[in-house]
A and B are shown apart, each in its own frame.
Chain A
Amino acid sequence: RKEVEQDPGPFNVPEGATVAFNCTYSNSASQSFFWYRQDCRKEPKLLMSVYSSGNEDGRFTAQLNRASQYISLLIRDSKLSDSATYLCVVALYNFNKFYFGSGTKLNVKP
């Protein structure tokens, strides 16, 4: 069983749309949660951390549900530049192991 599961997509949305991605994780000992972004043929980069109370960064909102072991990312007012693969990542308590989902591909179209 994978540690982190994501819908691979692709999600094809028009500019300006709101889109949501979800992921689930299997290890209840997971302590920290993140969304990374990976552009085509590029390395992953941190998009945002996910806090228990939920957090927002501009057009991006992340939510965590520990009881259901579920993380979400909401993107409002999608831009063409948001087209990428979004990786859900969980870390155990000492940060020496990060588990990556296989990613959800987003295509934003004009």
Chain B
Amino acid sequence: DVKVTQSSRYLVKRTGEKVFLECVQDMDHENMFWYRQDPGLGLRLIYFSYDVKMKEKGDIPEGYSVSREKKERFSLILESASTNQTSMYLCASRWEQGNTGELFFGEGSRLTVL
């Protein structure tokens, strides 16, 4: 079974703090994604990585950066957290060679910024 593990299920941070959200997948998937999920808005893509050290902006990258130094790990960084970044963050991975649309998600990290 594919396993996507997000380091923290729940975080509470203060405005202006730097926040790291870590995601690790164990199936050697090439593609990894970071989404945020908000009520009524669905999942929105923040950043996407199609391989190590490769990244592309998604639809809402402002205020976020990412790092992919190893194939299995994709980190999301909030340089200076703001209250409008309070959300559920979901990491996903996909096997590019399989040419399928199946995304495997982690359990999510619920971030509250005070």
Contact = CB atoms under 8 A, between A and B. Distances in A.
B40 A8 contact: yes
Contact of A101 (B42, B58, B106): B42
Given A43-B106, A96-B48, A103 B58 contact: no
Contacts of B94: 95
A28 to B, nearest CB: 18
Contacts, number: 52
Q: Chain A's interface: helix, strand, loop or mixed, by majority? A: strand
B90 A87 contact: no
The number of chain B residues touching the other chain, given as a range, is 20 to 34
A49 B101 contact: yes
Most chain B beta-carbon neighbours within 10 Å: one of A34, A95, A97, A103: A95
B74 interface: no
A25 interface: no
A2 B35 CA distance: 16
Contacts of A8: 40
Interface string B95-112: 010011111011110000
Interface string B31-47: 10101000111111100
